[in-house]
Chains A and B, each alone.
Chain A
Amino acid sequence: MVKVTCPICGGKLDIPEDSLPGELFEHEDCGAHLELVINEGRFELKLAEEIAEDWGQ
């Protein structure tokens, strides 16, 4: 697990090492929906995109 800071509340999340960029996580403490960004090997979280009209299967 990698400890990553929540950009919304500043708390910490445990992210599995084998996670991929674009993977979604919910921060249980504050309820934020977050997306993983990997910057030169460093894990960061950003606020996930809102569902857009053109999303689907």
Chain B
Amino acid sequence: MRIGLAYDLIRWEEKALAYTIKDLGHTLELIHVPESVFYLTEPTIRGLDVTFERCVSFYRALASSLTLEAQGVFVVNTFDVIRNCGDKMLTTAVLAKKGVPVPRTMIAFDKVRALEAAKTIGYPVVVKPIYGSWGRMIAKADDESSLLDILDFRENMPSPHFQIHYIQEFIRKPGRDIRAYYLWGEVPVAIYRVSRNWKTNTALGARAEPANLDESTKELVIKAGEAMGSGVLGVDLMEDEDGRIVVSEVNAVVEFKNTVRVTGYDLPRKIVSSTVEALKA
């Protein structure tokens, strides 16, 4: 097959995917998005069977997946999936609508209403930017006064998306969360991200450990993956004190370096081969 790789930066993941595509005997076509021109209003023959969308920048991922799809290329993940996963407001709304358990979440646009929402949810609450990653700008407010400080910071940020306050129930996790990989209806591998920090991002120093998920947790991951529209996804789960498991978010340009390192599982190979299979089906 002719497989495209649309990217902006080369992380460990993009390199691993590039090598794997060639290793499996496919033809690799690199699409370095920042140096490309995409034709939005006229068809372009690209001769690609499938393209992996791997831009680190959410907006570049949106633009390049949209135009590639307009040119008739099958993009993984699709534009719709990338949009719905990249914006936490959309992710939470889509998951909730499809009956996937998520933390109770509210949206407000000013301090008065944000405080009202937090009061309804009950402290502590978590406030998140609607897009971004690696735990950046995500804050926990233990009480009204710390929430006011957070809202003050947000309201003084120039970007309009900070004027949307995404306020969420705080889940009392057992010092870890779960990152599971959803690949076309399968859950081949998962890790725990263990940390003393309530934010368990590996980018913030959490330790990755292999996780064996039970069947019901895997079913939840599959339900979340299907709800978002299937493809190659990183589904993040949180366990609470009563053993309830909720989906915190779904990542559409998913990183997996630490998962491969601690589990030894060849996830890049599985991503390429399961996508080729999905394409044939």
Contacts and interface: CB of A to CB of B under 8 A. Distances in A.
Contact of A24 (B9, B57, B234, B251): B9
Contacts of B58: 54-56
B129 interface: yes
Contact of A21 (B35, B86, B133, B253): B35
A26 B170 CA distance: 38
Nearest to A21: B32
A49 B35 CA distance: 14
Contacts of B7: 22
Contact of A53 (B32, B34, B129, B253): B129
A24 B35 CA distance: 16
B9 A35 contact: yes
Contacts, number: 57
A24 B56 contact: no
B57 A21 contact: no
Nearest to A35: B9
A3 B191 CA distance: 40
Interface string A19-40: 0111110000000000100000
B144 interface: no
Q: Is the interface of A mostly helix, strand, loop or mixed?
A: loop
A54 B57 contact: yes
Interface string B129-143: 101111000000000
A54 B131 contact: yes
Interface residues of A, number: 14
A20 B56 contact: no
Which of A20, A21, A55, A56 has the most B CB atoms < 10 Å from its CB?
Answer: A56
A55 B133 contact: yes
A33 to B, nearest CB: 11
A1 interface: no
B156 to A, nearest CB: 15
Interface in B207-257: 234, 251, 253-255
Contacts of A54: 57-59, 86, 131-132
A48 to B, nearest CB: 8
B9 A20 contact: no
A57 B234 contact: yes
A49 B134 CA distance: 17
Contacts of A21: 30, 32, 35
B9 A22 contact: yes
A55 B10 contact: no
A54 B160 CA distance: 13
Given A54-B131, A55-B58, 18 more contacts: A20-B30, A20-B32, A21-B32, A22-B7, A22-B10, A23-B9, A23-B15, A53-B161, A54-B132, A56-B56, A56-B86, A56-B132, A56-B133, A56-B251, A56-B253, A57-B133, A57-B251, A57-B254
Interface of B: 7-10, 14-15, 18, 30, 32, 34-35, 56-59, 86, 129, 131-134, 159, 161, 234, 251, 253-255
Interface of A: 20-24, 35, 48-49, 52-57
8 contacts: A20-B15, A21-B32, A23-B9, A53-B161, A56-B131, A57-B234, A57-B253, A57-B255
